[in-house]
Chains A and B, each alone.
Chain A
């Protein structure tokens, strides 16, 4: 089964500094990887995805992620953090079910706290 791991429960960064939220994956075959953000009491918002192509994927709100096959990582990055970026971030990978349907498997989430 496919899986992703987010090794950090929380990441703290000062506003204006670059941020990185880590994600590593374990898949058989080509990975389909995603990043989502969740604000308090809200559903998930899609940030970006990697299917194929360039290893550097650009997404919403200035976020980007770098796919690294040798390190099996898909870290989320932003050059300059904003206080409004403070939220819960989930990495996810596509998995195929026995039925042939697809589903997303989520990591445990990383809380990003950006201080003024």
Chain B
């Protein structure tokens, strides 16, 4: 089945630690995205990538980093510079023709202790 796989689903980390969230897709989509969701707020764009080896900052990129070395993979690193990292992180992909439909992974819930 085609889709987006995020791992881990739940993650706990101590303050000051970096953590990397995995996102893999087999939909052959060029564009991939990382969103953050907090209670009572809409999804906010962290980073997006339209093609391999290229990515752009979204609205809240500070404290995060990404890479896009392969079309299928778009990992997100939450660094210790992110002041409030506890959130639900969603990875998504879309086709280049832009129907507007985003296909989301099941999300990764990060809790900083």
Co-complex (A, B): no
